[in-house]
Amino acid sequence: MVGLAVAAVAVTAAGPWDSGQRKAERDRAAALSRTGGAHHRPPARTAPPGPVPAPSAPGVLSAPSAPAAPPAPVAQALAPFLHDPGLGPVLTASVVDVATGKELYGKDAGAPMTPASTVKIATAVAVLSATGPTHRIPTTVVAAPDFKRITLVGGGDPTLDTARLRALADGTARALRERGVSTIRLAYDISLYKGPARHPIGRNDNIAPVTPLMLNEGRLDDSTSGPAPRGTDPAHDTAAAFVGLLGERGINTEAGPDRGRAPAKAVALARTFSAPMSALVERMLTNSDNDLAESLARHTALAGGRPASFAGARTAVTERLKRLKLPLGKARFVDGSGLNRADKVSAGLLTALLSKAADPAHPELRPVLTGLPVAGFTGTLSERSEARTAGLVRAKTGSLTGVDTLAGTAVSPDGRMLAFAFMAGDTPAYGAGRPALDRMAAALVP
């Protein structure tokens, strides 16, 4: 009853991501409208009856401990669902007791599978390990020594929004006026990222061109997550919006915006920072945010001295996870978002990643757990929960045509935290495996 009371209060607390540590599932009403990720379709307009408060909420914020009673046989609990026709003929699975590391169930747990958006768990662990949870991503404005030319420098923050761009314009205009400057030329610098900007899947409403400078993730509507029409050149669009904001503040633009490089001897004028990395990871996982996932993969590359490209991120994420002594096997991280079918991850690796995030020796990884969508409450699980499991299952969803995956944590009847991963690789239709995967997760918390 104490857990229920704590969760009930926490669910009503304000703010979606507070210092990267989710107290429980806050702002549920807003969360119910959020989707996102690899081909995640928007939920139905009619919401189901509100779930009970999440009794598991405090559990992810403290190290799990093993109770004396042994867990119920997981294989027996999962057996009724393993041959559900919606899962197709290819299913792998792993269930692990987080406190002891003991595998409670495995079905081809080491086999590499296309993970879809569950690969974001690997991206999250890698970037938190590489940068730390307090790292913030800057977007900067600098000036040439004569102050005739200023440059908007992209730092790789896809969460830059209109309010923060206005604040950046305020600071820039103020700094220029203090120097008696009212007319400038504007350039924008996107040299931080290397290689192709377009994801290999091509133009797609699930992701904008991958660039270190973008406003509202390149969205052309008022959405904040999920599929949306995207601009073809988000960096130029952002710079053009910045020109307009400077004009409103009395700073005229003689030329630009033009793509260029910041001068070697630049003078800093203004800067805005993203939320801490812990909060960015939570947002990425909760909403299955593809733009943010590709950005965080590139920041893993930058922290590891690799080029901020698809190839550099692949190498850096792999290196970082090897350093954490995770069982990579034949894992392959072609992108950070899971939109690429060439990504390969095993169910055993996913449960190992989740267990590592719960390890008291790695508190920097805890946002991986607190960011997981919660059944019946948040993100891509806001419309997905079995009876009596709302709040007890936290999991990252993943869907592509023919692929359905679910990986996360569940609270067993005897109070254990279980890490699970279920991966269906040849489903008969898009989303066909989701009901069975949800029932499998629910079977862990009867």
| pLDDT digits 0-9 by tens, 69-94 | 444 589 999 999 999 999 999 999 99
* pLDDT for 8: 30
Cα torsion 301, 307, 311, 315: sign: negative
Please report, as a single letter, which amino acid is at residue 204: N
Which whole-number Å values give the CA distances from 150 to 155, 247, 251, 345, 418, in the listed order?
Answer: 16, 14, 11, 44, 53
Average pLDDT over residues 257-263: 96
Same domain assignment for residues 128 and 22:
yes
d(CA 61, CA 437): 25
Q: At 75, phi and psi to the nearest 5?
A: -55, -40
Average pLDDT over residues 1-9: 30
* pLDDT for 391: 83
End-to-end CA distance of the chain: 18
Same domain assignment for residues 92 and 145:
no
Contact 356, 349 (CB under 8 A): no
d(CA 173, CA 156): 23
Q: Which of 20-34, 166-180, 390-404 has the lowest mean pLDDT?
A: 20-34
Does the pLDDT at position 50 exceed 80? no
pLDDT grade for 5, boundaries at 50, 70 and 90: very low
Q: Which two tokens stand for residue 107?
A: 């079905």
Choose the final residue of a domain: 248, 274, 300: 274
Same domain assignment for residues 221 and 74:
no
**What integer best gives the mean pLDDT of the chain?**
86
Q: What is the DSSP letter of 108?
A: S
Task: Choose between 407 and 385: higher pLDDT.
Answer: 407
Average pLDDT over residues 100-104: 94
Catalytic residue among 117, 274, 337, 399: 117
Active site residue 117: yes
Q: Hey, is 165 helix, strand or coil?
A: helix
Average pLDDT over residues 207-228: 95
- Domain with residue 153: its CATH number is 3.50.80.20
Same domain assignment for residues 216 and 293:
no
Average pLDDT over residues 300-311: 98
Does the pLDDT at position 339 exceed 80? yes
Contact 287, 223 (CB under 8 A): no
* pLDDT for 390: 80
Same domain assignment for residues 121 and 150:
no
Q: What is the DSSP letter of 441?
A: H
Task: Choose between 68 and 364: higher pLDDT.
Answer: 364
d(CA 280, CA 289): 10
Does the pLDDT at position 98 exceed 60? yes
Task: Choose between 352 and 44: higher pLDDT.
Answer: 352
Choose the final residue of a domain: 274, 292, 307: 274
Question: Residue 200 sits in which domain range?
Answer: 138-274
Same domain assignment for residues 245 and 386:
no
Does the pLDDT at position 28 exceed 70? no
Catalytic residue among 23, 56, 94, 120: 120
Same domain assignment for residues 144 and 236:
yes
Q: What percent of the chain has pLDDT over 70?
A: 83
d(CA 132, CA 81): 39
Contact 153, 140 (CB under 8 A): yes
* pLDDT for 29: 30
pLDDT grade for 415, boundaries at 50, 70 and 90: confident
- Domain with residue 109: its CATH number is 3.40.710.10
Same domain assignment for residues 337 and 429:
yes
252-259/183-189 β-pairing:
parallel
Same domain assignment for residues 316 and 362:
yes
Q: Which two tokens stand for residue 406?
A: 């679910």
Nearest C-alpha neighbor of 28 from the set 46, 50, 45: 50
138-143/252-259 β-pairing:
unpaired
Placement of tokens 């977007």 in the chain: 139
Which whole-number Å values give the CA distances from 286 to 42, 72, 128, 289, 369, in the listed order?
Answer: 14, 29, 16, 8, 10
Helix (H) / strand (E) element for 80: namely: none
Choose the final residue of a domain: 246, 274, 302: 274
Catalytic residue among 129, 278, 288, 309: 288
Structural domain count of the chain = 2
Which whole-number Å values give the CA distances from 201 to 161, 293, 318, in the listed order?
Answer: 26, 15, 22
Active site residue 120: yes
* pLDDT for 245: 98
Same domain assignment for residues 121 and 258:
no
Q: Which residues contact 300 (CB under 8 A, 6 or more apart)?
A: 123, 126, 127, 130, 131, 313, 316, 317, 320, 336
Q: Which two tokens stand for residue 152?
A: 């908007």
Q: Which of 10-19, 174-183, 228-237, 435-444 has the lowest mean pLDDT?
A: 10-19
Active site residue 356: no
* pLDDT for 364: 98
Same domain assignment for residues 290 and 436:
yes
pLDDT grade for 382, boundaries at 50, 70 and 90: very high
Average pLDDT over residues 257-279: 96
Same domain assignment for residues 232 and 293:
no
pLDDT grade for 255, boundaries at 50, 70 and 90: confident
Q: Which of 56-65, 90-99, 406-415 has the lowest mean pLDDT?
A: 56-65
Does the pLDDT at position 119 exceed 60? yes
